[in-house]
Structure 1
Amino acid sequence: MFDSAMPALESATPALCRLQLSNELRRLRLRAGKKGAEVCRALAWPPSKLTRLETADNGTVEPADVIALCLIYGALPEEQSTLVGYAKVTKTKKDWWQIQGIRDVIPPSFKAYLGLEATAEKMENYQSEYVPGLLQTDAYVRAIHEHAHAGLPAEQIEKLVAVRITRQDVLHRETGALEFTAIINEAVLLRQVGGAKVIKEQLLHMADLASSNPNVKIQVMPFALGAHRGMNGAFTLLKFGALALKPIVYLETFASAGVSRREDDVKKYGQAFSDLQALAPGYKESQSMIYAASKEF
């Protein structure tokens, strides 16, 4: 039986449909007792095709592919009808990051992450070097990209800024705003990205967001607390709640970025975030630290 949280077609976004399809197609396969390799042989598919469908790692889903899988899995007529409907949404609607003029500056791997971020119910993020993306101001974003992408035309930089700012809409969704909890290293408060004026505006913006939005919570990890579980680098945990999708962890490095769905990884990073939360000062004290830092500029 389908999860009651499955979205209505008229309001469903392509990203949500891809995620729901991946979850349901895998559930149907397991219910039918089929191995992935067995399914791929029956359909003459490369294994990567089924993997992409079951991990939502594709831009669109062909209704014919869904029908073929439903027949093999013995899906009920209503199950097939609903899933085909979701596949059609991925073919007829576009997510904002697929819009012409923006999509060319977004790497394919990050488009997949944007789909996860856009449908997540909760996000837990540790950052050691810069303000979390969902809390950044235009000027702060621009300063980061001007250094990270030196030599890139101004027009392209502005597109990257637009992508970052548009992502922040998840904090203000009408149907369930993202619950965002961030822990940042104290160094983030002192690093003059863009100069004194930009960082001051950024710190005030971040503190104001936390004070005026109950779904946004920020803690600061002071230098004085010494070594801690976040010293290996930044990480993001995404949780999907009612969608019944398993949590994932997103890791980004200088050379690459990617998502891990491995239970061990999610558990390890989840515990690390819990430890950081317990170690860092509370929300009110952290907010005072942010306001105090802004006065230094």
Structure 2
Amino acid sequence: MTDTQAATPTLCRLQLGSELRQIRIRLGLTSTQVVRKLLWSPSKLTRLETGDNATVEPSDIMALCQVYGVDEATAGQLKEYAVVTKTKREWWQSTEYRPIIGPGPRAFLGLESSAAAIHAYNAEYVPGLLQTAEYVRVLHRHAHRGRTDEDIDRMVELRLRRQKVLQRDPPLKFAVVINEAVLLRQVGGPGALKAQLARIAEAAREPSVKVQVVPFKAGVHRSMNGAFSTLRFPDALALKPIVHLEHLADHWVLRRSADVELYEDAFNELQALSPGPQESLSMIENAMKEL
């Protein structure tokens, strides 16, 4: 990534962290050695290398470049990445959405928008990237009781804008396994569910989207304790895959290789237990007929 004028803050943050980590490893330096030289806390360097900071101070990057002895051109490029994180904002960081998004969801939105591929398992409801406006509205009214109608409207709009990652160029590669219960749970009533199932069927016909349904008859599986997503990033970012967990109170991200491998294996198992995309599409269409 070289065109920082067109780059998003999230991409700049992730690219910056990736390049800093590669430089440090190439020099044979440990994180401990670096933070001791700069009198930083270990977590500060970790957050920079993983792109977890909302913004990056250009002065911190120049201090790192001095320790690493990088050339002037490289230092300038890295500083530009940091400047973008300070001077530009993602669309979800606008004043319109800020009151309705906590730190966890904000961090996830950046990761989701930058991912090349997402594998998701949903046990109770349709995944966010495939939800209709009416379905979203009903979910938020129950999950966020006490919120104003205006806040709910913003939450619905936010969810629908997120779905643009499926139409971008290149589109996000989205593979999802949903529990058969999702086809039957009447969120918003029969009419709303039928429209929602039609939306899933429409998306499933896109070449970048793969939808499977794990049937009740598949029996026990190791993902029965809840939904999860794994995210993979473009090769150019040199970022390791992560796991995303979402619950009623907040969002969590797991980065440990052993955790990611556990969830990726679980997703592969779900795909093997489920009928293929065409048979799964038939299950969705049959559920629509029942309504």
Which TM-score band (shorter chain)?
A: over 0.9
1:158 alignment partner, one of 153, 162, 171: 153
Compute the TM-score of the two structures, normalised by the length of structure 1.
Answer: 0.94
Work out the CA distance in 2 between the residues paired with 1:110 and 1:41. 33
Aligned residue identity for 1:274: N
Pairing of 1:56-205 with structure 2 (within 5 A): 56-174=51-169, 176-205=170-199
The CA deviation at 1:43 is 2.3
Q: Kindly indicate whether the alpha-carbon contact (under 8 Å) linking 2:143 and 2:248 is maintained by their aligned counterparts in 1.
A: no
Q: 1:66-125 CA distances to partner (integer Å, 9 max, x unpaired)?
A: 111111112222221111111111122211111111022111122111111111100000
Work out the CA distance in 1 between the residues paired with 2:87 and 2:288. 46
Number of equivalences: 290
The CA deviation at 1:188 is 0.3
Work out the CA distance in 2 between the residues paired with 1:171 and 1:10. 24
Q: Does 1:206 align with 2:200?
A: yes
The CA deviation at 1:7 is 4.5
Q: Does 1:285 align with 2:252?
A: no
Q: Kindly indicate whether the alpha-carbon contact (under 8 Å) linking 1:58 and 1:112 is maintained by their aligned counterparts in 2.
A: no
The CA deviation at 1:253 is 2.7
Q: Kindly indicate whether the alpha-carbon contact (under 8 Å) linking 2:105 and 2:250 is maintained by their aligned counterparts in 1.
A: no
Q: 1:193-235 CA distances to partner (integer Å, 9 max, x unpaired)?
A: 1111111110001111111x21011000010111123212111
2:254 alignment partner, one of 236, 250, 260: 260
Work out the CA distance in 1 between the residues paired with 2:61 and 2:88. 18
Q: 1:246-279 CA distances to partner (integer Å, 9 max, x unpaired)?
A: 1111112334421111100111111111111111
Q: Percent identity?
A: 54
2:265 aligned partner? 271
1:224 alignment partner, one of 217, 221, 236: 217
Aligned residue identity for 1:46: S
Aligned residue identity for 1:119: S
Q: Which structure 1 residue ranges, 5 or more long, are not aligned?
A: 1-5
2:36 alignment partner, one of 35, 41, 49: 41
Q: 1:134-189 CA distances to partner (integer Å, 9 max, x unpaired)?
A: 00011100000000011211111111111111111110112x11000000000000
Q: Kindly indicate whether the alpha-carbon contact (under 8 Å) linking 1:237 and 1:266 is maintained by their aligned counterparts in 2.
A: yes
Partner SS state of residue 123, structure 1: strand
Partner SS state of residue 12, structure 1: coil
Q: Which structure 2 residue ranges, 5 or more long, are not aligned?
A: none
